[in-house]
Amino acid sequence: MEDESEGRKLLVLYGSQTGAAEEVAERIGREARRRFIVPNVLAMDDYNIVNLIEENLVIFVCATTGDGEEPDNMKVFWKFLLRKNLPSHCLQSLTYAVLGLGDSSYPKFNFIAKKLFKRLAQLGAQELVALGLADDQHDLGPDAVIDPWLKKLWEKILEIIPLPVGKEIISSSIKPLPRYKVTILSDKDSHNELTKADAGCNGKTDIPHNNVNDEVGSTVSKDCPYLSTIVENERVTTPDHFQDVRLITFDLTSSGTSYSPGDVLMIQPSNLSDVADEFINYLGLNPNQKILLSQNYPDISLPKHLPQPCTVKHLVENYWDIQGVPRRYFFELLSHLTDSELEEEKLQEFNTAEGQEELYSYCYRPRRTTLEVLEDFPHASKNITLEYLFDLISPLKPRAFSIASSIKAHPNKVQILMAVVKYKTNLYKPRVGVCSTWLASLDERMKNVRIPVWIKKATISFPKTLETPVIMIGPGTGCAPFRSFIEERTCECNQGGECVLFFGSRSRHKDYFFEQEWLPLQNDGRLTLFTAFSRDQENKIYVQHRLKENNAFVWDLIERQGAWCFLAGNSKQMPSDVSDVLQEIFTREGKLTEEQAEGYFKQLIRTKRYQRETWA
């Protein structure tokens, strides 16, 4: 097929934070192969952007993350593309299409996709199809936009790159080759391969989570994480509180890394051993079997962080996201593996446009896990081979946590404030967070457990000068980055600009984080603290109510003293409520019209004097 496809190539570039955009890009790659087109699917930062002027056809798939920011793996690409000295017609030979993945509950819905689409046009590129804007909030999920957009895309691509003479699109009913070849090794083969393997950044062939070697490379990063241990794992909510929240301290000694307030700690999680064992037992896998991967497709690289060779147990515990909700392609591929007509019919239905509502009700709304789906399709499960597990199950993604400490107050350590995720759906078993549940199970006595971590710089950036007043709005675990800033500022000086915190939780007596630290600072005049405990009285009180009660004080700080304002917390209703209250304050205290207040607020955002960090 590759020889017949010579000269028939397609470049697909993605910017992905959680993996969703990457999965869509890979889907485009699979669809290209069915049309005898050789795809090259890459993260934008893995592509040499200077070659873009020589490309004829490129498909871009990009997510928007944070408060209208580009994903980490397209930052370099995006920075280059925004250079003002690029000639206005440098991409005139390029035809392009852009598909954005976003969430309309955020103000800057699909902001990066819109900017990328516009920027490519500014540089002379020609659009192939209209901009696609997928929305997580749609009743049927992002596929409600993705499916019809892709249909139109392929119609246009086949006008440019027609099928070879005598060829037809390879039927989707034909089982595709797996992404990797898997070789089962004997003990002797395994030893030989182990001695040949690349040593990697830690001077080892593996970065397992139970590694006890203390060697670190010169630079800690995603590609070379630091293997940390937990120094302390303290529950900071009372035992009778509905939510288990932890203040977890990690050791950074000998890491050679530092951090600042607003930075984020990235953690590569593992699956719990009992969950991994359940998966292994159900599929009848041999946990001690050693395997070696090789490429099936030239454009699909081998996993960067997977040791070669490795055991099945390592894959299940540390690589595959077996507790994640399956992707749509999972059901398509599973339909090729079953020998049951009933299962095949149902799995194929899940991959039709008409079946999306049922798929959403069955899988996505209740957050059904991979293993739970496999248990519902036993005929398919018994035919799964190791090769196809790499296609069926996504790799575990790193998790991001706002840093809750100052390195000046906690030398060689970093702390996070983490809520252990656990909630009910209509399924029997509660849903749990992979990373939070795993971390909560660890404590300082488990010195043999090494946790891959690295620092991601400044999600929110605080003012550099100590004299600048700061207003921080942080309900719940949203107070984490503000605790970091408060510690940093109080370590640096006893005086400075006004430091104001609006903190909210359910109860003063059950989940009032850092009370023993903040009250003395308040008494010393180094912190102005407003609290809102929603369940301690009949009427619910939230941080936005406290803001409203202190509207003159807030306006004076922002308008007359030049305060910077920050918000961190859950992305559901709170951020928009706070925005509404702030604009009310601008109207009431600043005597602005609603239109002027909105413009004033947008100006604060543009000048970084209002920043927010929110999460679902």
pLDDT of 7? 61
462 annotated ligand binder: no
Model pLDDT, residue 493: 67
Average pLDDT on 396-415 reads 95
The answer on whether 198 is annotated among ligand-binding residues is no
Is the pLDDT at 306 greater than 80? The verdict is yes
Residue 102 assigned to a binding site: yes
Residue 124 marked ligand-binding: no
Q: Is there a binding annotation on residue 214?
A: no
For residues 409 and 382, state if they share a domain: no
One domain for residues 336 and 268? no
Residue 211 within a domain:
no
pLDDT of residue 204: 34
Quickly state the pLDDT bin for 411 (edges 50, 70, 90): very high
138 versus 4: the higher-pLDDT residue is 138
Measured between alpha carbons, how far is 361 from 352 in angstroms, rounded to an integer?
A: 15
**Residue matched to tokens 């990063």:** 221
Q: What is the predicted pLDDT for the residue at 221? A: 87
The verdict on residue 585 lying in a domain is yes
Total domain count, the chain? 4
pLDDT at position 208 over 50? no
- Asked if residue 250 belongs to a known ligand binding site, the reply is no
197 is in an annotated binding site: no
Q: Quick: pLDDT tens for 145-171.
A: 999 999 999 999 999 999 999 999 999
541 annotated among ligand-binding-site residues: yes
> Cβ contacts of residue 93 below 8 Å, gap of 6+?
53, 54, 55, 56
Report, as an integer, the average pLDDT of 1-25: 80
pLDDT at 195 over 50: no
Provide mean pLDDT across the span 520-549.
95
Phi/psi of residue 385, nearest 5 degrees: -105, 165
296 labelled as ligand-binding? no
What pLDDT, on the 0 to 100 scale, is given for residue 570?
Answer: 83
The annotation status of 58 as a binding-site residue, yes or no, is: no
> Under a CB-based contact definition with an 8 Å cutoff, are residues 46 and 13 in contact?
no
- Residue 205 in any domain: the answer is no
Query: Is residue 575 a part of any domain in this protein?
Result: yes
Cα–Cα distance measured from residue 61 to residue 58, given in angstroms and rounded to the nearest whole number:
10
Find out whether 53 is annotated in a ligand binding site: no
Let me know whether 604 and 508 are in one domain: yes
Which residue did the predictor score with more confidence, 72 or 28? 28
Domain presence at residue 204: no
370 is in an annotated binding site: no
pLDDT for res 114: 96
Query: Do 413 and 383 sit in the same domain of this protein?
Result: no
477 is in an annotated binding site: yes
State which residues form the domain around 343: 325-392
Q: Is the pLDDT assigned to residue 545 strictly greater than 50?
A: yes
> In the predicted model, what is the mean pLDDT of residues 360-372?
92
* CATH number (domain holding residue 418): 2.40.30.10
104 annotated as belonging to a binding site for a ligand: yes
Q: How far apart are CA 134 and CA 112, in angstroms?
A: 13
Give the tens place of pLDDT for each residue, 243-302.
999 999 999 999 999 999 999 999 999 999 999 999 999 999 999 999 999 999 887 889
Give the range among 27-41, 207-221, 341-355, 425-439 with minimum mean pLDDT: 207-221
Confidence of residue 547 (pLDDT cuts 50, 70, 90): very high
Asked if 317 and 227 sit in the same domain, the reply is yes
CB contact burial 498-511 (16+ within 10 A = b; e otherwise):
bbbbbbbbbeeebb
The pLDDT of residue 205 is: 32
The answer to whether the beta carbons of residues 590 and 597 sit under 8 Å apart is yes
Residue 203 has pLDDT above 70, yes or no: no
Q: What is the mean pLDDT of the chain?
A: 90
What is the model's pLDDT at position 106? 77
Q: Out of 17-21, 139-143, 249-253, 293-297, which region has the weakest mean confidence (pLDDT)?
A: 139-143
136 annotated to a ligand binding site: yes
Nearest to 262 by CA among 413, 416, 95, 457: 457
Looking at 176-307, list the stretches that DSSP marks H as alpha helix, in order from N- to C-terminal side. Answer: 187-196, 273-283
Q: Do 293 and 404 belong to one domain?
A: yes
Average pLDDT over residues 580-607: 96
- The token pair that represents 576 in the structure block: 């928009």
Domain with residue 84: its CATH number is: 3.40.50.360
Tokens linked to 287: 């946990």
Q: Which two tokens stand for residue 181?
A: 């070849």
Q: Is the dihedral of CA 430, 434, 436, 438 positive or negative?
A: positive
Q: In terms of pLDDT, which residue wins out, 404 or 298? A: 404
Q: Are residues 581 and 555 in the same domain?
A: yes
Q: According to the annotation, is 125 in a ligand binding site? A: no
Q: Which of 408, 435, 458 is the last residue of a domain?
A: 458
Residue 565's contacts (CB-CB under 8 Å, 6 or more residues apart) are 470, 471, 472, 473, 558, 582, 604, 609, 610, 611
The pLDDT > 70 percentage for the chain reads: 93
Report yes or no on 212 lying in a domain.
Answer: no
Between 423 and 118, residue with greater pLDDT: 118
Q: Give a yes or no: residue 199 inside a domain.
A: no
Q: Indicate if 360 and 444 belong to the same structural domain.
A: no
The region of weakest confidence among 251-260, 272-281, 568-577, 604-613 is: 568-577
Looking at residue 445, its pLDDT comes to: 75
377 is in an annotated binding site: no
The reply to whether 392 sits in an annotated binding site is no
* Residue 467 near residue 559, CB atoms below 8 Å: no
Report pLDDT for 428.
81
The answer to whether the annotation marks 401 as part of a ligand binding site is yes
**Domain identity same for 432 and 530:** no
Q: Which two tokens stand for residue 497?
A: 């600009």
Flag whether 503 is marked binding. Answer: no
Read off the CATH number of the domain in which 544 is found: 3.40.50.80
Q: Tell me, what's the pLDDT at 222? A: 85
Percent of the chain whose pLDDT exceeds 90? 76
- 320 and 332 housed in the same domain: no
Residue 297: exposed, middle, or buried by beta-carbon count in 10 A (0-12, 13-18, 19+)? middle
| CA atoms of 499 and 373, how far apart (whole Å) | 50
Tell me if 420 is assigned to a ligand binding site: no
Same domain for 44 and 109, yes or no, is yes
Residue 113 and residue 241 in one domain: no
User: Is 402 marked as binding a ligand?
Assistant: yes
Known binding residue 12? Answer is no
436 is in an annotated binding site: yes
Q: Which pLDDT score, from 0 to 100, does residue 219 have?
A: 82
312 labeled binding residue: no
Does 101 count as an annotated binding residue? yes
Q: Report whether 593 belongs to an annotated binding site.
A: no
- What's the mean pLDDT in 429-451? 89
Is 431 annotated for ligand binding?
no
pLDDT for residue 615: 78
- Give dist(CA 199, CA 194) in Å, integer: 10
Does residue 537 lie in a domain region?
yes
